[in-house]
């Protein structure tokens, strides 16, 4: 059996990627996911569309690579995290659209939780800050707003799942209602040191425990694909949230190793091994992929708008026709011309956690060009990552030696050079930038003996290109000061007055 298949259900698309035993990509299929914005600050997906898109990619990849089920040793699942689906166990029908991680509708409920003095409890138990980003308040919102939902939940008729759980349910025809530790750690309901759902937090949000999936390690044979589906009988051997899967795919498994993924958002994760380091600087503590007996942890900084600002230049401002064009447009100018763009389009995530911040551009002059805007947009991605890394270094009291990078935006050389310059740290892009899918494949392959050990896998990791810092530290510091000033001006803009 020469292959492992990764199913990567991201925010904007579902992908199926087939890997061989050397960790090389053999075939890819991708389907876009429709984004719905029914109200300001709301973001929804259709769970049935997610399922049909994902299973469609499986059929496509099989056809493209001309393989049979017996050629696939295992399937690994990785997913956009926190996005919340609630469905009826009997009918298998979702009772409401999936509320996406970016959705801010539960900000008022989060404020109430803070006023009830729960911030420290949430942090100690879950490693998270109270924010509408996480699943807990999204589940509560569905129970409060869908007629009859709370009563049905109390009768045990409803199931909650993040996207991994939803796909596992569908792939096994309703046999499995499970999740893995990484996804559980993003719900704001899971005690990450005891390794269990937390009754106090469930009570605070009035969520019946019967709705929750069973929680398992990330590398394990969960079950097999149902008989009527493509790849029937193939074992599902790995499940992890996409950022933890990328951390694993980058083989950042020793304390102090870190990766940043430049996708729609930016997600910087730093392994802390078996120690659950609680941040003093508004970073999150989260569970890393579990491959053995012990729980492993990471510090995480999440930025909501990363590559999405490039999409805005493309779709909103129409300055470019494709995301990759942003690099050549930015190269038309030597520098940002004094222009700073704060991409707080959906508020600010870590380390600011300000849902009321909004985007701004400052420093506009008569000489400001489209090239400056492109440059300021790319720089804003790098500045946000630098803010995260500073906070993490302060928590871990040790700077990282290098930053491994992946995700769609990591194809951009100008961005990565600026990232290295502003951080003063080497930035390394691996040969395979689909590290999210690769991580899920590794987890599944480890569970089924396709790969034998972490060492076996680590030997496959290869550098495509390393970016060394070239900018003077004084110049970098000056730029960081200007950026910090711009960020302050973007805060609290949409605060109720
Ligand atoms: N060359 C590029 N430079 C900067 N950003 C890019 C580039 N190519 C793609 N992107 C951005 O990367 C994001 C897509 O990355 P991807 O890893 O596929 O995201 P996701 O998994 O969040 O859907 C988009 O927001 C896109 O605008
Ligand atoms: O789908 P992505 O790659 O933008 O990742 C989404 C994250 O998992 C949200 O926490």
Residues 153-202 have pLDDT tens digits of 999 999 999 999 999 999 999 999 999 999 999 999 999 999 999 999 99
Measure the CA–CA gap between 346 and 344, rounded to whole angstroms: 5
Any idea what DSSP says for residue 425?
S
Ligand 1 neighbour 153 (Cβ under 6 A): no
Measure the CA–CA gap between 427 and 468, rounded to whole angstroms: 7
Rg of the chain, C-alpha, whole Å? 22
Position in ligand 2 atom list of the atom nearest CA 82: 10
In contact, 247 and 301? CB cutoff 8 Å: no
Nearest Cα to 92, choosing from 3, 174, 14, 197? 174
- Closest residue (by CA) to atom 25 of ligand 1? 307
- Closest residue (by CA) to atom 4 of ligand 2? 264
Whether residue 82 is annotated as binding a ligand: the answer is yes
CA distances from 480 to 50, 382, 392, 468, 472 (A): 40, 10, 17, 18, 12
Tokens matching residue 205: 């949000």
Ligand 1 neighbour 327 (Cβ under 6 A): yes
Residue 1: per-residue pLDDT: 64
Among the bound ligands, the one closest to the CA of 241: 2
Residue holding tokens 């769609």? 408
Query: From ligand 2's centre to the CA of 171, what distance in Å?
Result: 21
Position in ligand 1 atom list of the atom nearest CA 13: 23
Whether residue 448 is annotated as binding a ligand: the answer is no
β-pair partners for 76: 6, 238
The packing angle between helices 370-396 and 473-490, to 10°, is: 100
Query: From ligand 1's centre to the CA of 306, what distance in Å?
Result: 8
Whether residue 133 is annotated as binding a ligand: the answer is yes
In contact, 370 and 329? CB cutoff 8 Å: yes
Assign 224 to helix, strand or coil. Answer: strand
Residues 325-341: b if buried by 16+ CB within 10 A, e if exposed: ebbebbeebeebbebbb
Query: From ligand 2's centre to the CA of 474, what distance in Å?
Result: 34
H/E run at residue 382: helix 370-396
Q: Is 226 left (phi over 0), alpha (psi -120 to 50) or beta?
A: beta
Whether residue 334 is annotated as binding a ligand: the answer is no
Domains annotated on the chain, with CATH: 3-243 (3.30.420.40)
Predicted confidence (pLDDT) per residue in 311-320, tens digit = 999 999 999 9
Measure the CA–CA gap between 343 and 358, rounded to whole angstroms: 7
Whether residue 15 is annotated as binding a ligand: the answer is yes
Query: From ligand 2's centre to the CA of 241, what distance in Å?
Result: 8
For the chain, list residues with pLDDT below 50.
none
CA torsion sign, 484 to 489 to 493 to 497? positive
Residue 287: per-residue pLDDT: 97
Residue 34: per-residue pLDDT: 92
Tokens matching residue 459: 């030997």
Which residues lie closer than 8 Å to 145 by C-beta, 6 or more apart? 96
Ligand 2 neighbour 242 (Cβ under 6 A): yes
Interface pTM, i.e. ipTM:
0.96
CA distances from 22 to 98, 169, 172, 493 (A): 36, 30, 29, 50
Whether residue 460 is annotated as binding a ligand: the answer is no
Ligand 1 neighbour 343 (Cβ under 6 A): no
446 burial type by CB count under 10 A (0-12 exposed, 13-18 middle, 19+ buried): buried
- Closest residue (by CA) to atom 6 of ligand 2? 80
**pTM for this model (two decimals):** 0.92
Ligand 1 neighbour 408 (Cβ under 6 A): yes
Whether residue 12 is annotated as binding a ligand: the answer is yes
- Closest residue (by CA) to atom 23 of ligand 1? 12
Residue holding tokens 């759902």? 197
């Amino acid at each position: 059996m020469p292959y492992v298949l990764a199913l990567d259900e991201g925010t904007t698309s579902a992908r199926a990627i087939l890997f061989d035993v050397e960790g090389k990509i053999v075939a890819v299929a991708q389907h876009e996911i429709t984004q719905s914005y029914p109200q300001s600050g709301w973001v929804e997906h259709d769970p049935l569309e997610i399922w049909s898109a994902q299973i469609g990619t499986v059929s496509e990849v099989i056809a493209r690579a001309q393989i049979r089920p017996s050629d696939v040793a295992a399937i690994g699942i990785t997913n956009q995290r926190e996005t919340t689906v609630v469905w009826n166990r009997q009918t298998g029908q979702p009772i409401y659209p999936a509320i996406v991680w970016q959705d801010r509708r539960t900000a008022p409920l989060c404020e109430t939780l803070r006023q009830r003095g729960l911030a420290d409890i949430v942090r100690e138990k879950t490693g998270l800050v109270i924010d509408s980003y996480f699943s807990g308040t999204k589940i509560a919102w569905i129970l409060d707003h869908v007629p009859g939902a709370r009563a049905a939940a109390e009768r045990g008729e409803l199931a909650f799942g993040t996207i991994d759980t939803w796909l596992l349910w569908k792939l096994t025809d309703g046999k499995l209602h499970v999740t893995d530790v990484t996804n559980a750690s993003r719900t704001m309901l899971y005690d990450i040191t005891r390794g269990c759902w937390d009754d106090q937090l469930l009570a605070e949000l009035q969520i019946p425990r019967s709705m929750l999936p069973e929680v398992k390690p990330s590398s394990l044979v969960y079950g097999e694909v149902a008989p009527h589906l493509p790849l029937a009988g193939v074992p599902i051997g790995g499940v992890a949230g996409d950022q933890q899967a990328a951390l694993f795919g980058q083989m950042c498994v020793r304390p102090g190793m870190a990766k940043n993924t430049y996708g729609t958002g930016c997600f910087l994760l730093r392994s802390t091994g078996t120690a659950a380091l609680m941040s003093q600087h508004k970073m999150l503590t989260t569970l890393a992929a579990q491959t053995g007996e012990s729980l492993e942890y990471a510090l995480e900084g999440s930025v909501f708008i990363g590559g999405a600002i490039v999409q805005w230049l493309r779709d909103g401002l129409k300055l470019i026709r494709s995301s990759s064009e942003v690099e050549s447009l930015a190269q038309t100018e030597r520098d940002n011309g004094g222009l700073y763009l704060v991409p707080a389009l959906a508020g600010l995530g870590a380390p600011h956690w300000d849902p009321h911040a909004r985007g701004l551009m400052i420093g506009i002059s008569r000489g400001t060009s489209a090239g400056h805007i492109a440059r300021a947009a790319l720089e804003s991605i790098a500045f946000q990552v630098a803010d995260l890394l500073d906070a993490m270094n302060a928590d871990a009291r040790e700077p990282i030696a290098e930053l491994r990078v992946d995700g769609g935006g990591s194809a951009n050389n100008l961005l990565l050079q600026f990232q290295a310059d502003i951080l003063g740290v080497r930035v390394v892009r691996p040969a395979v930038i689909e590290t999210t899918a690769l991580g899920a494949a590794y987890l599944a392959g480890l569970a089924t003996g396709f790969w034998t050990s972490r060492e076996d896998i680590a030997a496959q990791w290869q550098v495509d290109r390393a970016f060394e810092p070239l900018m003077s530290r004084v110049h970098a510091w000056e730029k960081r000061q200007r950026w910090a000033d711009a960020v302050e001006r973007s805060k609290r803009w949409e605060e109720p007055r």
